């Protein structure tokens, strides 16, 4: 069965705050499709933890902000879908490691999505150019 992988972003609390990004998987390509959402959230130590939320509408608001927009990254197969949670956890670990090297005030949660999309594109599981499109998506405000 084919599924659709989306990058979804939510409005930030202010014009200088980062937008919250998630990756969402649906089996239908319309606004009211139910999605499984993959994301990272900061814990009380300042590190990102991967989490999965099931059965949310693709265009629903998120507790961190109102729905802002989305971009279809491509179709994925069941093998990718089964691995996506592991990809998310590994990407969170990589981002946390990089953020520790950068310092506390320069962490970047958007790197999590970049790591996953780059991995899927490099493995030819997403179309070429997917990462370049993600890099153009709104990050702030």
Interval 1-25: pLDDT, tens: 789 999 999 999 899 999 999 999 9
Q: pTM (2 decimals)?
A: 0.93
pLDDT band at 101 (very low <50, low <70, confident <90, very high): confident
- % helix / strand / coil in the chain, to the nearest 5? 35, 35, 35
Token duo for residue 121: 């594109």
Token duo for residue 28: 């239908």
Backbone angles phi, psi at 95, to 5 degrees: -65, -45
The per-residue pLDDT for 8 is: 97
């Amino acid at each position: 069965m084919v599924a659709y992988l989306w990058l979804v972003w939510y409005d930030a609390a202010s014009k200088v705050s980062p937008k919250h990004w998630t990756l969402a998987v649906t089996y239908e390509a319309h606004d009211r499709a139910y999605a499984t959402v993959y994301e990272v959230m900061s814990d009380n130590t300042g590190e990102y933890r991967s989490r999965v939320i099931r059965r949310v509408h693709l265009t629903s608001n998120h507790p961190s902000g109102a729905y802002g927009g989305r971009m279809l990254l491509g179709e994925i197969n069941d093998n990718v879908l089964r691995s996506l949670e592991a990809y998310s956890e590994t990407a969170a670990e990589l981002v946390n490691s990089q953020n520790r090297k950068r310092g506390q005030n320069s962490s970047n949660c958007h790197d999590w999505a970049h790591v996953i999309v780059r991995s899927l594109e490099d493995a030819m599981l997403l179309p070429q150019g997917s990462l370049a499109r993600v890099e153009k998506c709104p990050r702030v405000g």
